[in-house]
C-alpha cells in the first residue's frame, strides 16, 4: 500500500479527552518513519482502536439526541447535492456498458431471458451500493475531510472546543449520520440508473424491454434490494466516520489538508471493499440466496 | 484565593519542552500581560489555560478547579466561564460575522432551554460590533474582512459569552495605534464591568503598560519576571530590560 495508515489526531486533539475524541498517537515520529512490520501493525491497530472509540462516541451522541436537526439537514443536503451527479454518471454508464457486453453474449448463446435479471441482481446486491459508496467517498468523503482538515489547521476546531462546543457533536455526528442516511438513497438511485442504462443498451442489442423486465421480475426478490441497502448503510457510516477522522487528524497547514483528503478517499474506498466482502459473506450465509 | 493558579506547569511535545515549571497566580479582576519573544511559549500557555493542550505535569486551577487531567466534558464546564481570543482570530469561515458572534450563545442556550430572542441577539451583536469599532458588519463573511478586522470579530465572539475569564492572544498586533488603544480600553472596560480576570499576551509595550496590573515575562518557556509595571521598569532581569529598551526611541540597535 502506498499510503501509511495513521491514526494520529492533531495535536489539538491530543489533550486527554477520553469522553470525546480518542487520545491517539503519542509519538508521531515512529508512525511516520515506521518501516518495521510491528510499527506498521501497531499503527493499523491504533487506527482501528481510534475509529472504534470515535464510532462509539458518535453513536452515543446520536442516541442522546445531541445533534441539532439543522446541522443534520444541512449535511444531508450537502451530501445529496454533491454526490448525486457523480452517482448518476457512474451508475448509468456502468449499467449501459455492462448490458452491452451481456446482451451481445446473450443473443449469441441464447440466454436473453437472463440479461435483465442478472444485471438487476448484481446491481441490487453489489454494484448499486458499491458504486454509490465509491462515488460518495470520492465526492463527499473528500469534501468532509478537506473541510474539517482546514478547520483544524486554522484553529477553528480549537475555537469550538474553547467555546465548550464538542467537535464530535457539532462536526462529526451530523456528518456521519447524514452519510448513513443518504447512502441508502444513493444506492437506490444507483440501482435505478443502472437498470435504466442497461435496459437501453440491452434493447439496442436485441433484448426487448418486456423480456428484460420479465427477467428482472422472476430473478430478483425484495430481499436483494434489502441486502443492498444494508450494505449501503454500513458503507455510509464507514465513509462518514473515516472522512471525519482523517479530517480531524490533519496537521501541517494546507499540505496537511491535501494529504488528509487523499488519505480519506483511499481509506474510504479500501474500507468499502473490505466491508463488502464481510457483509456479502454474512448476508449470503444467513438464509440469503 | 487566586482566580487562576498555575503550579509547576510543564508542557512537552516529543523532543521539546515548551513550557518549563511555570508558576503564576492571578487574582480575580486582575489584568495580567504576558510578554516574551516569538516562540517563547505564550500561545501555548493560553491554550493550556483553556485545556486545549494537555499539560505534561503540574496543575492549573481556574476558580479553584484543577483542569489538568480533566475529560473534555468536564473541561467544557470550566470553558463556559472562559473566553479565548485567538492569535489569528480562528473565525468559523462558513458563518458570517453575526453567526460567529452568536455561535456560543445560541449553542449553549439551546441546551439549557432558554433561547434568547432574535431581537435580543441582534442588540447584543450590534453593541459588540460597536465596541470593536466594526458597526454594521453583521452580514460579512470572514473572508471579506482584513486580518485586524477578523481579530476584532474574534474578540467580540469571545466576549459574547460573558466569560469570567478572558484570555487574549495578541489582541492589538497588526492594528493601527488608534484602533489598538480602543481595544485596550475595551479590555479595561470588560474587566471593570464584571470583575473579569484577564490574561493578555502582547508585544505591544505601550498597551502592556497601559492596561496591566501585573506583567509576566516568558523566556524559552520559563517565567523570568512577574511583577507590576513599575517593578518591570526597575527590573534587573536582562530580558525585561531588553524588551523595554527596544521600544525607547533611538535604542533600536
Ligand atoms: N505542535 C508543536 N510541536 C512542536 N513544537 C511546537 C508545537 N507547537 C508549538 N511548538 C513550539 O513551541 C514553542 C512555543 O510556541 P508558541 O506558539 O507558544 O509561541 P509564542 O510565544 O506564542 O510565539 P509568537 O509570539 O510567535 O506567537 C515554539 O518554539 C514552537 O516552535
Ligand atoms: Mg503566539
A172-193 pLDDT, tens digit each: 999 999 999 999 999 999 999 9
Best A13, A15, A78 residue to mutate vs chain B (most B CBs within 10 Å): A15
For residue B158, give the C-alpha cell: 469571545
Q: Which residue ranges of chain B lie beneath pLDDT 50?
A: 251-253
**From the CB of residue B39, how many other CB atoms can be counted at a distance below 10 Å?**
12
Of B51, B72, B90, the CB nearest to A156: B90
Is the shortest distance between the CB of B54 and ligand 1 below 6 Å? no
* The domain defined by B29-41+74-247 carries CATH number 1.20.1600.10: no
Q: H helices then E strands: how many in chain A?
A: 12, 0
* Cα–Cα distance for residue pair A51/A267, rounded to 1 Å: 12
For residue A122, give the C-alpha cell: 448484481
The answer to whether the CB of B127 falls within 8 A of the CB of B186 is: no
Rg (CA), chain A: 21
The answer to whether the CB of A144 falls within 8 A of the CB of A242 is: no
Residues having C-beta closer than 5 Å to ion ligand 2: B 43, 87
Cβ–Cβ below 8 Å for A158 and B82: no
Environment class of residue B59 by beta-carbon count within 10 Å: exposed (0-12), middle (13-18) or buried (19+)? middle
Q: H helices then E strands: how many in chain B?
A: 9, 10
Q: Is the pTM of this model over 0.95?
A: no
* pLDDT at residue A63 in the model: 80
* Cα–Cα distance for residue pair B216/B31, rounded to 1 Å: 11
The answer to whether the CB of A176 falls within 8 A of the CB of A66 is: no
For residue B252, give the C-alpha cell: 533600536
Q: How far is A21 from chain B (nearest CA, A)?
A: 8
ipTM, interface predicted TM-score of the complex:
0.92
* pLDDT at residue A28 in the model: 38
Cα A241 from chain centre? 9
The answer to whether the CB of B228 falls within 8 A of the CB of B196 is: no
* Cα–Cα distance for residue pair B89/B243, rounded to 1 Å: 26
* Cα–Cα distance for residue pair B52/A288, rounded to 1 Å: 50
* Cα–Cα distance for residue pair A25/A31, rounded to 1 Å: 8
Any bridge partners for residue B217, and if so which?
B35, B225
A119-156 pLDDT, tens digit each: 999 999 999 999 999 999 999 999 999 999 999 999 99
Cα B88 from chain centre? 12
Q: Choose one of B11, B12, B19, B39 to mutate for the ligand 1 pocket test, by most ligand atoms within 8 angstroms of C-beta.
A: B39
Residue A247: helix, strand or coil by DSSP? helix
* Cα–Cα distance for residue pair A164/A161, rounded to 1 Å: 5
Q: Which residue ranges of chain A lie beneath pLDDT 50?
A: 1-19, 23-34, 287-289
Is the shortest distance between the CB of B235 and ligand 1 below 6 Å? no
DSSP A7-40: -PPPGGG-S--TTSS----S-HHHHHH--SHHHH
Does B112 lie at the interface with A, CB-CB under 8 angstroms? no
Cβ–Cβ below 8 Å for B79 and A19: no
For residue A286, give the C-alpha cell: 444467513
**From the CB of residue B209, how many other CB atoms can be counted at a distance below 10 Å?**
16
Q: Which stretches does DSSP call E strand in B37-118?
A: 57-62, 65-66, 82-85
Cα B199 from chain centre? 5
Cα B80 from chain centre? 15
Amino acid at each position: 500500500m502506498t499510503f501509511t495508515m495513521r491514526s494520529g489526531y492533531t495535536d489539538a486533539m491530543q489533550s486527554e479527552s477520553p469522553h470525546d475524541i480518542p487520545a491517539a498517537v503519542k509519538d508521531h515520529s515512529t508512525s511516520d518513519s515506521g518501516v518495521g512490520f510491528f510499527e506498521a501493525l501497531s499503527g493499523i491497530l491504533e487506527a482501528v482502536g481510534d475509529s472504534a472509540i470515535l464510532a462509539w462516541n458518535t453513536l452515543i451522541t446520536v442516541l442522546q439526541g445531541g445533534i441539532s436537526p439543522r446541522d443534520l439537514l444541512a449535511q444531508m443536503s450537502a451530501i445529496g447535492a454533491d454526490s448525486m451527479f457523480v452517482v448518476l454518471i457512474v451508475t448509468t454508464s456502468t449499467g449501459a456498458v455492462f448490458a452491452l457486453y451481456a446482451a451481445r453474449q446473450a443473443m449469441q448463446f441464447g440466454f436473453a431471458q437472463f440479461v435483465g435479471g442478472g444485471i438487476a441482481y448484481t446491481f441490487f446486491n453489489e454494484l448499486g451500493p458499491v458504486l454509490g459508496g465509491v462515488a460518495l467517498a470520492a465526492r463527499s468523503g473528500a469534501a468532509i475531510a478537506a473541510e474539517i482538515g482546514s478547520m483544524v489547521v486554522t484553529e477553528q476546531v480549537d475555537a469550538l472546543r474553547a467555546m465548550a462546543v464538542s467537535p464530535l457533536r457539532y462536526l462529526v455526528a451530523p456528518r456521519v449520520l447524514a452519510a448513513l442516511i443518504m447512502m441508502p438513497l444513493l444506492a437506490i438511485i444507483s440501482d435505478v440508473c443502472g437498470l435504466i442504462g442497461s435496459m437501453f443498451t440491452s434493447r439496442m442489442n436485441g433484448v426487448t424491454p418486456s423480456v428484460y423486465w420479465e427477467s428482472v421480475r422472476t430473478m430478483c426478490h425484495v430481499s436483494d434490494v434489502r441486502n443492498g441497502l444494508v450494505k449501503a448503510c454500513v458503507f455510509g457510516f464507514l465513509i462518514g466516520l473515516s472522512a471525519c477522522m482523517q479530517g480531524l487528524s490533519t496537521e501541517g497547514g494546507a499540505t496537511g489538508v491535501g494529504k488528509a483528503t487523499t488519505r480519506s478517499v483511499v481509506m474510504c474506498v479500501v474500507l468499502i471493499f473490505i466491508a463488502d466482502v464481510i457483509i456479502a459473506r454474512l448476508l449470503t450465509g444467513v438464509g440469503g440466496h | 484565593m487566586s482566580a487562576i493558579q498555575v503550579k509547576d506547569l510543564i508542557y512537552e511535545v516529543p523532543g521539546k519542552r515548551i513550557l518549563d515549571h511555570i508558576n503564576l497566580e492571578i487574582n480575580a479582576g486582575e489584568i495580567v500581560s504576558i510578554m516574551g519573544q516569538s516562540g517563547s511559549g505564550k500561545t501555548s500557555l493560553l491554550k493550556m489555560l483553556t485545556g486545549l493542550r494537555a499539560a505534561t505535569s503540574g496543575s492549573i486551577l481556574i476558580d479553584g478547579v484543577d483542569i489538568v487531567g480533566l475529560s473534555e466534558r468536564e473541561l467544557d464546564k470550566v470553558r463556559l466561564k472562559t473566553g479565548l481570543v485567538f492569535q489569528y482570530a480562528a473565525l468559523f469561515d462558513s458563518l458570517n460575522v453575526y453567526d460567529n458572534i452568536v455561535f456560543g450563545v445560541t449553542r449553549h442556550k439551546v441546551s439549557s432551554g432558554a433561547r434568547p430572542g432574535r431581537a435580543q441577539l441582534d442588540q447584543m451583536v450590534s453593541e459588540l460590533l460597536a465596541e470593536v469599532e466594526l458597526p454594521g458588519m453583521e452580514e460579512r463573511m470572514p473572508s471579506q474582512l482584513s486580518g485586524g478586522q477578523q481579530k476584532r470579530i474574534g474578540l467580540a465572539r469571545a466576549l459574547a459569552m460573558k466569560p469570567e475569564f478572558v484570555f487574549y492572544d495578541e489582541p492589538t498586533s497588526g492594528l493601527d495605534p488608534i484602533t489598538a488603544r480602543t481595544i485596550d480600553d475595551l479590555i479595561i472596560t470588560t474587566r471593570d464591568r464584571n470583575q473579569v480576570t484577564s490574561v493578555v499576551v502582547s508585544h505591544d509595550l505601550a498597551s502592556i503598560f497601559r492596561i496591566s496590573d501585573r506583567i509576566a515575562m516568558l523566556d524559552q518557556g520559563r517565567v523570568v519576571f512577574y511583577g507590576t509595571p513599575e517593578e518591570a521598569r526597575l527590573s534587573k532581569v536582562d530580558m525585561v530590560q531588553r524588551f523595554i529598551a527596544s521600544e525607547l526611541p533611538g535604542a533600536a540597535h
